[in-house]
Chain A
Amino acid sequence: MTDDVEALPADSAPRHLAPGDVGLVQSRDFVCDRSFTFKNGQAIPGFTLRYETYGELNATRDNAVVICHALSGDHHCAGWHSPADRKPGWWNNLIGPGKAVDTRRFFVICANVLGGCQGSTGPLSTDPATGQPYGITFPPVTIRDMVNSQKLLLDHLGVAGVHAVIGGSMGGMIATLFAIEFPDLVRRVLAMATTARESAQAIAFNEVGRQAIMQDTAWNKGSYARDGGPRVGLAIARMMAHITYLSDASLDRKFGRRIQKQASVGVSDAQFEVESYLLHQGQSFINRFDANSYLYITRALDQYDLAHAYGSLELAFAPVQAEFLVVGFTSDWLFPPGQNRDIALALLRAGRRASYAELSTDRGHDSFLLESDELYGLVRGFLERDVVVFDFSI
């Protein structure tokens, strides 16, 4: 997902104190010192998940709402780490006291995925056997490994019931698989802008990103220093991926054909504003993301295929007890509405409870991060539903 969703003017009032915000938050680390076996059979001696929580776990320990992030997201989904932060957590518009995901009612948990690089164990972490970063000796990560590791975090936090798992894009895959793998635990799934299996187009985009990384000589077969690595390749991967999160209409509205102020006529210089915007996106990404993590997580996305893993989508959904709400966005060309619809239809064919809603937006794949009262109302309605008992006397 893109980085520029919530950039706010730096001169506004103390933003972390705004009503409806969770305010200042801290990340914590869950350190699991037991061996963790990945789907492919390989194991690591232990792992860490960095996570944040907002709100309180209730007495019955069943008001947990698990937020799942997308490819380049992290555990910081709401609030501020410091008053000086340039922007809040990535889903701050959705999560907070009185917001659609109401932290006065729910105990919200968000963890950086296994294989990630924002504090959770991944290729950048030190392999205790060698004292060096795992690099590409890290076991292949799957969406299922992300789910299983987060389940251990929920156990650690004493969560007995999950009111809802919520996620967009890759987060929607994690949320869906949570309900398949732990049907007794999960009561609701809200999956947005997601898919039950990536199309060839989505795999193709990911592969261009991976090639950009691996063909950068600094990648060095995945072995590089923590402050080094294939920065050029990673930036190009990000630039390309970033385009797939937006849309023709949204790029055109934002930049049109506007020319850079100091545009030079040289063929090698950025001439249009959209070019310098993408360059900036690439540059800011390399300062916070690890190239090997990018390879691992995009592979996890590409490998995810519920129908293949369980025989069919209906078989995959057979054990599900959760109620699903799947949300598609008309302008999403990465995981188009049809792929979201297919999830809801297969759930219904399997006799499960599922709804599908579609928002008309022109923001592309990243529409799930949209500031939209329609979306907020839908999410709130799903999480808090009115109970209207019919008057049978009529």
Chain B
Amino acid sequence: MNKIVVKRTFDMRIIGDWVAPNSRVLDLGCGQGELLDYLVQAKQVSAVGVDLEFANIAACVRRGVAAYQGDIAGFMGAFPEKHFDRVICSRTVQELSDPAGVIIEGLRVGQAVTVGFVNHGFWKNRVAALVSGRKVRNAVYPTAWFESRPANPVTIADFEDFCRTKGIRVARRVHLSGDWKTRCAVWPNLFAGYALYDLTR
């Protein structure tokens, strides 16, 4: 199992701990459906994912995860208040063109919104940018700028600010160190590699 897959399983397990058994879960930017597949098997959730790519939807269908090809805002707009128990935005938020709109809409259609993102404030990213003077490239973002999708380099400090200004309640937060396993207790914006937030209204 490669390093990324191992890293991935830890944030999946934390999200899994937050998800109630048999609940209704929506995954925004579900990719090939790994997370939902895990949640269906571990927590027997009723799951649906949303993604823009046909190949990702086909992969979800192949593994038996329900998935909808289309735009995230358009999808959520078709659902009534609190239709979902949990809306998950795992490694999606940095690529959204209107992250605030999506999170707020997620809080309308869901009881809770879970956001997971790579912390660009992590010290190694800061050092790398300072030393190389280039776009940060690492195990998670291995590509050069010209072969990458547009992504906001979101940090923990930025995200905390966002929740405060929008009046969003942070019910739970987990900051993981650079290994994405051990908890990071001090100065997370500098020492945490990955962040998970559980948001409610």
Contacts and interface: CB of A to CB of B under 8 A. Distances in A.
A358 B51 CA distance: 11
A349 B58 contact: no
Interface in B28-49: 37-38, 41-42, 46, 48
Nearest to B79: A349
Interface string A351-390: 1011111111000000000000010011001100111111
B61 A385 contact: yes
25 contacts: A325-B61, A341-B68, A344-B68, A345-B78, A348-B68, A349-B78, A349-B79, A351-B46, A353-B46, A353-B66, A354-B68, A355-B61, A355-B66, A355-B67, A356-B69, A357-B54, A357-B61, A378-B58, A381-B58, A381-B61, A385-B62, A385-B63, A385-B64, A390-B37, A390-B42
A385 B42 CA distance: 19
B69 A349 contact: no
A7 to B, nearest CB: 28
A216 interface: no
A341 B1 CA distance: 37
A344 B70 CA distance: 12
B42 to A, nearest CB: 7
Contacts of B83: 349
B197 to A, nearest CB: 23
B58 A357 contact: yes
B68 A349 contact: no
Contact of A354 (B1, B41, B66, B80): B66
A329 B68 CA distance: 14
Contacts of B68: 341, 344-345, 348, 354-356
Contacts of B75: 345
B79 A357 contact: no
Interface in A328-359: 341, 344-345, 348-349, 351, 353-359
Contacts of B66: 323, 348, 353-355
B37 A378 contact: no
What range describes how many residues of B lie at the interface? 20 to 34
B58 A374 contact: yes
Interface in A20-49: none
A59 interface: no
B181 to A, nearest CB: 11
A374 B79 contact: no
B9 interface: yes
Interface of A: 323, 325, 341, 344-345, 348-349, 351, 353-360, 374, 377-378, 381-382, 385-390, 392, 394
B60 interface: yes
B69 A358 contact: yes
Interface of B: 1, 6, 9, 24, 37-38, 41-42, 46, 48, 54-55, 57-64, 66-70, 75, 78-80, 83
Given A354-B66, A356-B68, A388-B63, 20 more contacts: A341-B70, A344-B68, A345-B78, A348-B68, A348-B79, A351-B46, A353-B46, A355-B61, A355-B68, A356-B70, A357-B67, A358-B69, A377-B58, A378-B57, A378-B61, A381-B62, A382-B61, A385-B64, A386-B62, A390-B38
A351 B84 CA distance: 10
Contacts of B69: 356-358
A150 B5 CA distance: 48
A197 B85 CA distance: 31
Contacts of A385: 61-64
B60 A394 contact: no
Contacts of B79: 345, 348-349
Given A355-B68, A356-B70, A358-B70, A386 B57 contact: no
A357 B53 CA distance: 9
A345 B9 CA distance: 30
Contacts of A381: 58-59, 61-62
A341 B63 CA distance: 21
A223 B55 CA distance: 52
Contacts of B58: 357, 374, 377-378, 381
Contacts of B9: 394
A394 B13 CA distance: 9
B37 A388 contact: yes
Nearest to A394: B9
B101 to A, nearest CB: 19
A50 B70 CA distance: 39
A120 B63 CA distance: 39
A197 to B, nearest CB: 16
Given A341-B70, A349-B83, A394-B9, A358 B63 contact: no
A26 B98 CA distance: 57
A108 to B, nearest CB: 20
Contacts of B59: 381
A386 B80 contact: no
Nearest to B80: A349
Can you list the 5 inter-chain pairs with the closest CB atoms, starting with the nearest? A381-B62, A345-B78, A357-B57, A356-B68, A390-B41
